[in-house]
Chain A
Amino acid sequence: GAVVSQHPSRVICKSGTSVKIECRSLDFQATTMFWYRQFPKQSLMLMATSNEGSKATYEQGVEKDKFLINHASLTLSTLTVTSAHPEDSSFYICSARPRQLSAYEQYFGPGTRLTVT
Chain B
Amino acid sequence: LAKTTQPISMDSYEGQEVNITCSHNNIATNDYITWYQQFPSQGPRFIIQGYKTKVTNEVASLFIPADRKSSTLSLPRVSLSDTAVYYCLVSGGYNKLIFGAGTRLAVHP
Give residues in A with beta carbon < 8 Å to B. 4, 6, 32, 34, 36, 43-46, 49, 91, 93, 95, 97, 104-111, 113
Contact = CB atoms under 8 A, between A and B. Distances in A.
B81 interface: no
A108 B43 contact: yes
B97 A106 contact: yes
A86 B49 CA distance: 37
B13 interface: no
B71 interface: no
Contacts, number: 51
Given A46-B97, A104-B91, A104-B93, A109 B102 contact: no
B41 A105 contact: no
Contacts of A44: 44, 87, 99
B77 interface: no
Nearest to A36: B99
B45 interface: yes
B41 A43 contact: no
Contact of B41 (A6, A104, A111): A111
Interface of B: 32, 34, 36, 41-46, 49, 87, 91, 93-94, 96-102
Contacts of A32: 94
A6 B42 CA distance: 11
16 contacts: A34-B96, A43-B100, A43-B101, A44-B99, A45-B99, A46-B96, A93-B43, A93-B44, A95-B44, A97-B94, A104-B49, A105-B46, A106-B46, A110-B43, A111-B42, A111-B43
A45 B98 CA distance: 7
